[in-house]
A and B are shown apart, each in its own frame.
Chain A
């Protein structure tokens, strides 16, 4: 049973470009969470999604960031017009049902903005 998968593992973008981060949850999991870990800082919640629905996006920056979890395919975190401050590790986690349950984390995508 494959765990949570994220790709790419490393992503380099120049300022102003777009970054797309993908997350495939564990088989049978329909709840996905995105977290950001800035250098030398702790993890911070960004967004919580179920299939085709954004449940809680209270941690998402108001501009340039969006997330989706379509009926088919992985969840995608999209960052438009990246800036140097977006450089961070982005982790995806999934759970089978509600967010009260144990979340299983992916390996993360390390984004570097030049």
Chain B
């Protein structure tokens, strides 16, 4: 069964903290996406990666293909980073399979 597991489910941090959100999947994939869902509900695609590491501003995404694991890091977190972060994977030619999301709350 193709599954995507995220941890933690909920995360509360103080402004300025370094944050890590994890995503594990069950079988080989062709690509992994990290998405951000704002409190208002809109979804933004943050990264798509199939190997290595990508960085955009304070966000860093890494993937370890052998271990079937990806992490999303946020450096110098800010209250505006508060959102639900969703990991989604694509198995071969299939469609996106989504994790349940990690709800991040950054306190000032």
Contacts and interface: CB of A to CB of B under 8 A. Distances in A.
A40 B45 CA distance: 20
Q: Which of A45, A89, A101, A104 has the most C-beta atoms of chain B within 10 angstroms of its own C-beta?
A: A45
A39 B35 CA distance: 18
Contacts of B98: 35, 42-44
B27 interface: no
A55 B45 CA distance: 23
Given A42-B100, A99-B90, A108 B41 contact: yes
A69 interface: no
Contacts of B10: none
B31 A41 contact: no
Given A45-B96, A48-B95, A102 B101 contact: no
Interface SS, A side? strand
A110 interface: yes
B86 A43 contact: yes
Interface string A56-75: 10110000000000000000
A19 B42 CA distance: 21
B43 interface: yes
A43 B88 contact: yes
Interface in A12-50: 33, 35, 41-45, 48
Contact of A102 (B43, B45, B95, B97): B45
Nearest to A89: B41
Contacts of B76: none
Interface of B: 30-31, 33, 35, 41-45, 48, 86, 88, 90, 95-101
24 contacts: A33-B95, A41-B100, A42-B98, A42-B100, A43-B86, A43-B88, A45-B96, A45-B97, A56-B95, A58-B95, A93-B43, A99-B90, A100-B30, A100-B31, A100-B90, A102-B33, A103-B33, A105-B35, A105-B42, A105-B43, A105-B45, A107-B42, A108-B42, A108-B43
Interface of A: 33, 35, 41-45, 48, 56, 58-59, 89, 91, 93, 99-105, 107-108, 110
